[in-house]
Structure 1
Amino acid sequence: MEIEELRKEWKSIKTPQIDLDRLKDMTIEKSHPVLSGIRKQLTMELIGWSAVLIICFTGLDADAKTMLANAILIISVTIPMLFNIYGYKLSKEFIAGPDITSSLQNQIRSLKRFAVTSVLLRIMLIAGVGYFFLSNININPGKLMLLGAGSVLLLLPLYLLVRIWTKRVGTLSTTLRLLKEHE
């Protein structure tokens, strides 16, 4: 079938009339599978990082740390979590444009900005938590080697995060390219 025949066929299809209440039900946040997954991940991260803060301040001698180390820990954990909440709200909104191609371009641009910020905040999170734990420690060669090994292990989640974002943006970019080819 030629592309022109497909277009004619597409245009000849009548759009079904859907009741407004049914459309509202389809957009309910709790029933949306992607938003549900994001919400579960966000909830787990918020609970996990809240537990880390509680443990740090109740059982890991936070009172012996400097005020700066405590502030850096709180800020480095809080800002990425707030950004994740912002990302959840952003994922609920559709970035509109005059047509599907421009909407997708806007979505890709927004997603790229979000991805870069997400990775940078994850680096800040790792650095802040690391600073908190290392702020009162005298580092000898053995501890330095252990710190180096731990740093290498922390690069793996960062690499995976970059890969996930690259794949997401790449998938949308491929879809956009295919749309432009068939215009």
Structure 2
Amino acid sequence: MELADLRSTWNSVNTTVKTAEEIRLMLKENNHPVLKGIRKQLWIEIMGWSIFLLVYYTMFDGDQKPLLINLALVAAVLFSLLHNLMGYGLAKHLKTEGEVKQTLEHYLLKVKVYAIVSVVSRILLWTGFLLFFTYNIRFTSSKYVLLAVVLIILTVQLSLLGRMWMMRLRKLRDAVKNLQQPRPEK
């Protein structure tokens, strides 16, 4: 495509023109579309987990299980909620001042930490659930098979989660690396 064709195509694209004030308003937390979605998901999860924590003790016989098993489940759920809050904070507090390369390097470091917390959070949540729901169960061969199926599903889920984070980190690392290399002149 020639430069003239590219310019013509660029100029023919219909875009809505935003004023600086409209853009500023969009970037505020309450109007930012991505943050709105994250916040909505966060509130749904907080409400869901809160309801679960209110009813698990009686509905799932938490009163018949040792205190440590109950604490493990509650801690796992709370750590999962903390992980979600950490993700919201990561999206909300993006550093945009300074050079792009430094900003991306800083963001890459934060995303690496968040990726580790994400995987650990999932492991802790499932460990808490398995400890709580398998405590005091008399295992038969069919229950062992069911437990094996659940463990296989969890392993697959964790490997997919880990692979997803590795791909995201690789893309971000490549973006930082591409900024470091000078582009060849034409």
**Interval containing the TM-score (normalised by the shorter chain):** 0.7 to 0.9
Alpha-carbon spacing, 1:151–1:120, altered in 2? closer, same or farther (3 Å): same
RMSD: 2.3
**1:24-103 map, 5 Å:** 24-95=24-95, 98-103=98-103
What do the CA deviations read for 1:43-100 (whole angstroms, capped 9, x no partner)?
2322232233234223111111111111111111111202211221222112367411
Taking the aligned partners of 1:166 and 1:136, their CA distance within structure 2 comes to: 38
**In structure 1, what is the equivalent of residue 118 of structure 2?**
118
Taking the aligned partners of 2:61 and 2:155, their CA distance within structure 1 comes to: 27
**In structure 2, what is the equivalent of residue 11 of structure 1?**
none
What do the CA deviations read for 1:161-183 (whole angstroms, capped 9, x no partner)?
22332232222222222222346
Taking the aligned partners of 1:39 and 1:115, their CA distance within structure 2 comes to: 19
Secondary structure class of the residue paired with 1:31: coil
**In structure 1, what is the equivalent of residue 136 of structure 2?**
136
Q: How many residue pairs get matched? A: 166
Secondary structure class of the residue paired with 2:30: helix
Taking the aligned partners of 1:163 and 1:30, their CA distance within structure 2 comes to: 32
Taking the aligned partners of 1:98 and 1:30, their CA distance within structure 2 comes to: 25
Structure 2 alignment gaps of length 5 or more: 3-18
The structure 1 segments of at least 4 consecutive aligned residues displaced by more than 4 Å after TM superposition are none
Which one-letter code corresponds to 1:134 in the other structure?
A: T
**In structure 1, what is the equivalent of residue 106 of structure 2?**
106
Taking the aligned partners of 1:167 and 1:36, their CA distance within structure 2 comes to: 25
Compute the TM-score of the two structures, normalised by the length of structure 1: 0.79
Q: Which moved more, 1:91-100 or 1:30-39?
A: 91-100
Please say if residues 90 and 110 of structure 2, whose CA atoms lie closer than 8 Å, have aligned partners that are also in contact.
Answer: no
Q: Which moved more, 1:143-152 or 1:33-42?
A: 33-42
What's the offset of the Cα at 1:125? 0.6
Compute the TM-score of the two structures, normalised by the length of structure 2: 0.78
Percent identical: 34
Please say if residues 119 and 162 of structure 1, whose CA atoms lie closer than 8 Å, have aligned partners that are also in contact.
Answer: yes
Taking the aligned partners of 1:73 and 1:25, their CA distance within structure 2 comes to: 41
Taking the aligned partners of 1:159 and 1:47, their CA distance within structure 2 comes to: 28
Taking the aligned partners of 1:155 and 1:48, their CA distance within structure 2 comes to: 24
